[in-house]
Amino acid sequence: MTSNQQTAGRALAGAGPSRSKRRKWLDQEGRWGLLFVSPYLIHFIVFVAGPLAASLYFSLSDYDMLNPPKWTGLDNYARLLHDPLFWKSLWNTLYFVILFVPSQAFLALLLAVALNRKLKGLKLFRMAHFIPVISSWTVILYVADSVFNPRFGFANAFLTRIGLDPQRWLQDEQLVIPLLVLIAVWKGIGYMMVIYLAGLQSVPGDLYEAADIDGAGAVRKFRAITLPLISPTTFLVIVLSTISTFQAFEQIYVLTGGAGGITAAGGPNNASLVLMLYLYREGFAFMRMGYASALAWVLFTILFVLTLLQLRLQGRWVHYD
Amino acid sequence: MRRKTAAGIIGWTVVLISSLVMLVPFLTTLFNSLKTYKEYTAVPPKWIPETFQWSNYSEVLKLGNFGAYTMNSFIVALLSVAGALLSCSLVGYAFARLRFPLKNALFVMVLGTMMIPPVVIIIPHFIIFNELNLLDTLTPLWVIEWLAQPFGIFLMRQAFMNIPKEYEESAKMEGCNPFQIYWRVCMPMALPTLATLAIFTFMGKWNEILAPVIYLTTNEKYTLPIGILSLGGQWFGNEQYMVAAALLSLLPILAVFLFAEKYFVQNHVSSGIK
């Protein structure tokens, strides 16, 4: 790819024989190129590299934004180890990720397989699944509330009708995370489904025809053809959704906090306090920027290790032709 | 053959049920937004209100800072779109077509930044904007978009690489400089990808919650998603207004979506697979 670009660049520069022999380090095209990429250069230096270094430094200091940061070494990290709320938020996050990632990946694949055919009105069905995707979490709050409001939602009306006890749903310590997962799967499934649809379209149709001749059933075809050939997409979906779910913030902030904002979010009794929510609370509500930065680096490290692990494991089950 | 129809029926059923699961809660929400407070809090709930209280919507437009939130959301989203289109196409064009020092190293950096979770740099960003005295303004919400986000760069680079080089060569012969070639020849040909980038930037900014929550403190400066949440206190005892407000905030995105559905899908295909 890179050599192609270089050839492309050379062709564009109208590379005469004298030019290609001895080129100045920074010719006219090079200056244009640097000018073109300068927005990203500024971005990288000011908003990526600098902040990365700063946040590592903050994580090793005591910093409240009013006074200059005071170096404390690994203190913040040591405090994290003895902080029950950190462990609780870590556990909540893991619980959320473990419930969410596989169930969404599986259901999205199922849906994509069902939609991967010539159906009348296919576009309408696809659009139906996209409406939650394009909604903000604030919209989703009221949609979810119409069903799961403990007082006047339809879920409790249904439970009462069939003679079961009404539930407190998002205000129930046991139910809050599974329900948040359910809502998140519902909201995001259209997005994942489209990624899968693109993957399915690359599976050659003659494989299925051959399987038809051999008399293979739908389930067998799915397991023997679709699943292995779609595995690169599955891998991508799982990696992407693991990374983003570990950083879940908005959905939990809105759905558990509602109008109450950060002081109400994460409840009941911190049962839905995830790492990002805890980080936000420590950093922006209590101004413990050092401690919050340490939390950020722990989260970053977990994500880094998980991504490496997933890359290592992909050889075992991902099929590339 | 019979097997095929059986699979077809199962597929149809899955699609149909799943579509209902997607749409019915939205319909319920729409009905909720048209109820009186008494109907809204009735136990057991009634699905369809007796008469549609369209006045709930006009109350939303009158009450509170709803107009200001809408304005703020538009400012942030539109400035972000303008910035993303310009900066990502410039940088993307350079990576696709120009030859300059450290090009490959820089491109690796672009890919690398995509992997960095935003969580590690949120706090320094906050401190930067604090130093610049830009807290509680809309600027932090859109200004980064003018500095080319990695995903957009990647998308635009891909689009420019797919344009046949002959077009640019003839412009080059006529003595156009790289900026003229980029602007006059390549930008018009990259319009579909620009549309995709515009739509996704708009949607992302319109729905964003984390950044507004961090940067904004004055109520009149809130964007729609956090503004609506903040109305809870004002409309205590009239919560059906909040449902109407939330649905109103969905309208612009919904309009864009219905108008340009194919660009939504195109983005997923190119971001997901390539």
B174-193 pLDDT tens trace: 888 999 999 999 999 999 99
**CATH number, position B261:** 1.10.3720.10
What is the homologous superfamily of the domain A76-317 according to CATH?
MetI-like (1.10.3720.10)
What's the CA gap between A188 and B24, in Å, rounded? 16
In a domain, B184, yes or no: yes
Instruction: Specify the pTM.
Output: 0.90
* Domain boundary assignment for chain A: 3-48, 76-317
CB contact under 8 A, B209 and A186: no
pLDDT recorded at residue A32: 93
In a domain, B26, yes or no: no
Q: B138-152 pLDDT, tens per residue?
A: 999 999 999 999 999
Question: Sorting pLDDT into bands at 50, 70 and 90, what band is B172?
Answer: confident
Report in angstroms the alpha-carbon separations of A165 from A150, A159, A160. Answer: 11, 6, 6
pLDDT recorded at residue B243: 94
Indicate the range of A15-24, B1-10, B92-101, B158-167 predicted with least confidence.
A15-24
pLDDT for residue A20 is more than 70:
no
Query: Measured between CB atoms, which of B121, B123, B182 is closest to A289?
Result: B123
How close B62 gets to chain A, by Cα (Å)? 20
CB contact under 8 A, B124 and A58: yes
What is the average pLDDT across B192-214? 94
In a domain, B111, yes or no: yes
Decide: B37 and B103 in contact? Cβ < 8 Å. Answer: no
Question: Sorting pLDDT into bands at 50, 70 and 90, what band is A13?
Answer: very low
Domain total of chain B: 1
In a domain, B152, yes or no: yes
pLDDT recorded at residue B89: 97
Contact status of A263 with chain B (Cβ, < 8 Å): no
Write out chain B residues lying below 8 Å of A250, CB-based.
Answer: 209-210
Decide: B29 and A134 in contact? Cβ < 8 Å. Answer: no
| Sign of torsion over alpha carbons A131, A132, A133, A138 | positive
Question: Sorting pLDDT into bands at 50, 70 and 90, what band is A4?
Answer: very low
pLDDT recorded at residue A109: 93
Better-predicted residue by pLDDT, A202 or B2: A202
Decide: A142 and A224 in contact? Cβ < 8 Å. Answer: no
Q: Which residues share a beta bridge with A61?
A: A71
pLDDT for residue A307 is more than 90:
no
Q: B35-75 pLDDT, tens per residue?
A: 999 999 988 899 999 999 999 999 999 877 999 999 999 99
pLDDT for residue A21 is more than 80:
no
Structure ipTM: 0.92
B3 Cα distance to chain centroid: 43
Matching residue, tokens 């009013």: A66
Better-predicted residue by pLDDT, B160 or B273: B160
How close A186 gets to chain B, by Cα (Å)? 7
pLDDT for residue A263 is more than 70:
yes
| Sign of torsion over alpha carbons A56, A60, A65, A70 | negative
pLDDT recorded at residue A12: 44
What's the CA gap between B180 and A12, in Å, rounded? 13
Question: Sorting pLDDT into bands at 50, 70 and 90, what band is B2?
Answer: low
Closest among A243, A267, A112 to A177, alpha carbons compared: A267
Q: Give the domain range for residue B125.
A: 66-221+250-273
What's the CA gap between B219 and B209, in Å, rounded? 14
Decide: A43 and A49 in contact? Cβ < 8 Å. Answer: no
Closest among B94, B42, B60 to A33, alpha carbons compared: B94
Tell me how many residue pairs between chain A and chain B have CB atoms under 8 A apart. Answer: 316
Residues 140 to 199 of B: which have CB under 8 A from any A CB? 144, 146-149, 153, 161, 165, 168-169, 172, 177-179, 182
Question: Sorting pLDDT into bands at 50, 70 and 90, what band is A275?
Answer: very high
B110 Cα distance to chain centroid: 21
What's the CA gap between A85 and B189, in Å, rounded? 53
What's the CA gap between A282 and A79, in Å, rounded? 13
In a domain, B98, yes or no: yes
Question: Sorting pLDDT into bands at 50, 70 and 90, what band is A14?
Answer: very low
Dihedral angle over CA of A189, A193, A196, A202, nearest 10: 180
